């Protein structure tokens, strides 16, 4: 039986499931709408999209490294309680392992990967949403693989911050982990001066120049002053020039010696997501009045 757009639309309205899940359900049930609804309910997919509009800014960040490859992954949920749910944690860890193995190009490619014998990652997530009852989303991931060296990972605060750093060269595992911990604490924006984009550098230089001129410094020494202050700027934003939190007598670059960081990710849970301010007292009062 041919599946029409009208059939898909009707099933979406009845079930709240996604378009692709509805098309599959109709194909599996020969276009029978009622049977398709049951199919979606059995798969745990019928309620997932109804929760899709709710803000998910909690959840967890995981970071996992295995020798010369690693991944950092953020999966969001609506409440902090879910981050302690075993089913949720198992799902996140399984997705992280899948990223290490399959190296998907982006989140959309990741969602299309097989999760098990029956579901892809997106469908498995929809099933988890229906089971736990909260909106969830795979927000982002970073994967690093180095040719000669190691990838170190670190998770802080039970999944509030996750760091992944790839280091080329001969580096001790404890030192590499220490650098990952440093990235979590110091939050460098760049690895080295060469990585600082021209726009950021010029913006900082312009601010410093205007400040020096406004303070009445002679124009003849403004450039010298700004150069000195730019060196301080680089020491604050570049990993290799920051004082190493494990040994403040050394910079990170000196601590690493000949080994060189080549890539890093630092994910902080929920950063950039606009969270809804909750007034729980008002919410409880409203529920009491409505009961």
CATH of the domain at 221: 1.10.286
The answer to the question of residue 147 being in a domain is yes
User: Are 12 and 80 contained in the same domain?
Assistant: no
User: Are 180 and 63 contained in the same domain?
Assistant: yes
- Count structural domains, the chain: 3
User: Are 124 and 264 contained in the same domain?
Assistant: yes
The answer to the question of residue 243 being in a domain is no
User: Are 109 and 27 contained in the same domain?
Assistant: no
Residues of the chain with pLDDT under 70: 1, 13-18, 41-56, 274-291
The predicted pLDDT at position 291 comes to 47
The predicted model scores a pTM of: 0.74
User: Are 62 and 201 contained in the same domain?
Assistant: no
The answer to the question of residue 94 being in a domain is yes
The answer to the question of residue 162 being in a domain is yes
Q: How many CB atoms lie within 10 A of CB 132?
A: 19
Which residues does 168 contact at the CB level (< 8 Å), separation at least 6?
146, 147, 148, 149, 259, 260, 261, 262
Residue range(s) defining the domain that contains residue 181 = 58-187+256-268
The answer to the question of residue 275 being in a domain is no
The answer to the question of residue 17 being in a domain is yes
The answer to the question of residue 242 being in a domain is no
User: Are 147 and 15 contained in the same domain?
Assistant: no
The answer to the question of residue 114 being in a domain is yes
Please name which of 260, 259, 242 lies closest in space to residue 251, comparing C-alpha atoms. Answer: 242
**Residue where the block lists tokens 């997106």:** 122
Q: Quote the DSSP letter at residue 242.
A: S
User: Are 39 and 82 contained in the same domain?
Assistant: no
Tokens of 68: 């010369």
The predicted pLDDT at position 21 comes to 79
Q: In this structure, what CATH number is given to the domain that contains residue 39?
A: 1.10.8.10
User: Are 73 and 174 contained in the same domain?
Assistant: yes
User: Are 128 and 264 contained in the same domain?
Assistant: yes
Whether 188 and 241 have beta carbons less than 8 Å apart is answered as: no
Q: In this structure, what CATH number is given to the domain that contains residue 144?
A: 3.30.479.20
Spell out where 146-190 has E strands: 149-156, 161-168
Please give the Cα distance from 36 to 22 (Å, whole number).
8
User: Are 210 and 183 contained in the same domain?
Assistant: no
The predicted pLDDT at position 54 comes to 61
Please count the residues of the chain. Answer: 291
């Amino acid at each position: 039986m041919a599946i029409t757009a009208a059939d898909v639309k009707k099933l979406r309205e009845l079930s709240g499931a996604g378009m692709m899940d509805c098309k599959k359900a109709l194909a599996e049930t020969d276009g029978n709408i009622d049977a398709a609804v049951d199919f979606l309910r059995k798969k745990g997919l019928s309620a997932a999209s109804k929760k899709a509009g709710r803000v998910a800014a909690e959840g967890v960040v995981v970071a996992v490294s295995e020798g010369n490859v690693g991944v950092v992954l953020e999966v969001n949920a609506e409440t902090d309680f879910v981050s302690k749910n075993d089913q949720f944690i198992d799902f996140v860890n399984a997705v992280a392992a899948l990223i290490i193995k399959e190296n998907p190009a982006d989140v959309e490619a990741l969602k299309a990967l097989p999760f098990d014998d029956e579901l892809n990652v997106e469908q498995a997530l929809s099933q988890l949403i229906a089971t736990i009852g909260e909106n969830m989303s795979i927000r982002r991931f970073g994967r690093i693989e180095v040719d000669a060296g190691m990838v170190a990972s670190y998770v802080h605060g039970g999944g509030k911050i996750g760091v992944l750093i790839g280091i080329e060269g001969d580096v001790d595992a404890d030192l590499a982990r220490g650098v990952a911990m440093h990235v979590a604490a110091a939050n460098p924006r760049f690895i080295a001066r060469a990585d600082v984009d021209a726009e950021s550098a010029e913006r900082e230089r312009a601010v410093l120049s205007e400040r020096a001129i406004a303070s009445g410094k002679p124009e003849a020494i403004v450039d010298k002053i700004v150069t000195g202050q730019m060196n301080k700027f680089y020491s604050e934003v570049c990993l290799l020039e920051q004082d190493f939190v494990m040994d403040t007598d050394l910079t990170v670059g000196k601590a690493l010696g000949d080994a060189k960081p080549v890539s890093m990710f630092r994910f902080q849970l929920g950063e950039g997501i606009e969270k809804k301010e909750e007034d729980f007292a008002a919410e409880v009062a409203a529920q009491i009045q409505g009961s």
